[in-house]
Amino acid sequence: MSKTKVAIVGPGNIGTDLMIKIMKNSTNLEVCAMVGIDPNSDGLARAKRMGCLTTAEGLAGLEIMPEWHDIKIIFDATSAKAHHHNWAIVEKYSDKKIVDLTPAAIGPFLVPTVNFTENLKVRNVNMVTCGGQATIPMVAAVNRIAKVHYGEIVASISSKSAGPGTRANIDEFTETTALAIEKVGGADKGKAIIILNPAEPPVVMRDTIFTLSEQADKEAIRKSIHDMVAEVQKYVPGYTLHQEVQFDDITEAAPVFIEGLGYRHGLKTTVLLQVVGAGHYLPEYAGNLDIMTSAALATGERLIELI
């Protein structure tokens, strides 16, 4: 069976890791081209050595090449600003889809284990953020048992795994993740915090998720969370619970105040995760980048079934 040809835009850490993941792990996708804007890019040089077509003329440069017509999926690993330009090119071709790994969020948010089937006919899907990919499945796991009023996530990553793109998009990270906690995770109100940890040696990605939901069977919530972890592990093996799920009862007599919602009571659930990268190209501590490329690959594998 022939593989579906894909292109990657952005030869940085994320784009290069995604390229190697597809080459090593995918039985259905083939990296046809790597696109950048710097002719001296290490990522473009590596892609060329690995047999990929390359261009330093951006997506417009690939568009005029004959290989463009065979490419069905474009993975955008550039920036929120650049994605608007890239989508303007891809949008003209009805036979192509784009998987957006930037915080641009032109298309709907997509977390593979939570809402893939809701976006079957969409041609531009957004992978939220690394923090969103790690934590939204946990909010959704609680929400499918008990209505979540509030979801708050704290994503702690190694400073060394936060490149210039991540640092330039910190505001977009928090805003996009918080919105996706609501739209995908199902919370009435979402909040996201990111911490860049300068510790040496570098620490792996750690995520803390707090939800305040209606009261429900705690064991049912615990099982839902464990089941969701197992689903994410199918494409991110290093995704694990760092500690067992914790519960606290917030009584009606002592409610908590949530901005935008007022005073609420119910069940507080705390989930503590860690994400260790697969080490394909990036170091294992860069689980924040690994979960993005792994989720993008999982999305691409399923999208080809619809092409």
Identify the pLDDT of residue 1.
Answer: 66
Percentage of residues in the chain with pLDDT exceeding 70?
99
DSSP 8-class letter at 238: T
What span, in angstroms and rounded, lies between the C-alpha atoms of 112 and 235? 10
- Model pLDDT, residue 121: 84
CA distances from 179 to 119, 175, 184, 191, 230 (A): 17, 6, 8, 8, 25
User: Regarding beta strands 239-241 and 205-213, do their DSSP bridges make them parallel or antiparallel, or are they unpaired?
Assistant: unpaired
Rounded average pLDDT per 10-residue block, the chain, 307 residues:
93 95 95 97 96 98 98 95 96 97 92 92 94 97 98 96 80 91 98 96 97 98 98 98 98 96 97 96 95 97 82
Question: What is the structure's pLDDT at 304?
Answer: 86
Unique residue bearing structure tokens 């918080």: 178
pTM summary value? 0.94
Just list the catalytic residues: 130
Q: Does domain 4-127+290-306 have CATH number 3.40.50.720?
A: yes
Question: Domain residue spans in the chain?
Answer: 4-127+290-306, 130-284
Helices within the chain (DSSP H only): 13-25, 42-49, 58-63, 80-90, 112-115, 130-143, 164-168, 170-183, 218-233, 287-303
Across the strands, what pairs with 5?
30, 71
Tell me, what's the pLDDT at 92?
Answer: 97
| pLDDT per residue as tens digits for the range 168-209 | 778 888 999 999 999 999 999 999 999 999 999 999 999 999
Q: Are 118 and 50 in contact (CB under 8 A)?
A: no
**In the Cβ-directed half-sphere of 158, how many Cα atoms lie within 13 Å?**
22
- State whether CATH 3.40.50.300 applies to domain 130-284: no
Pairing of strands 4-9, 29-35: parallel
pLDDT value for 119: 82
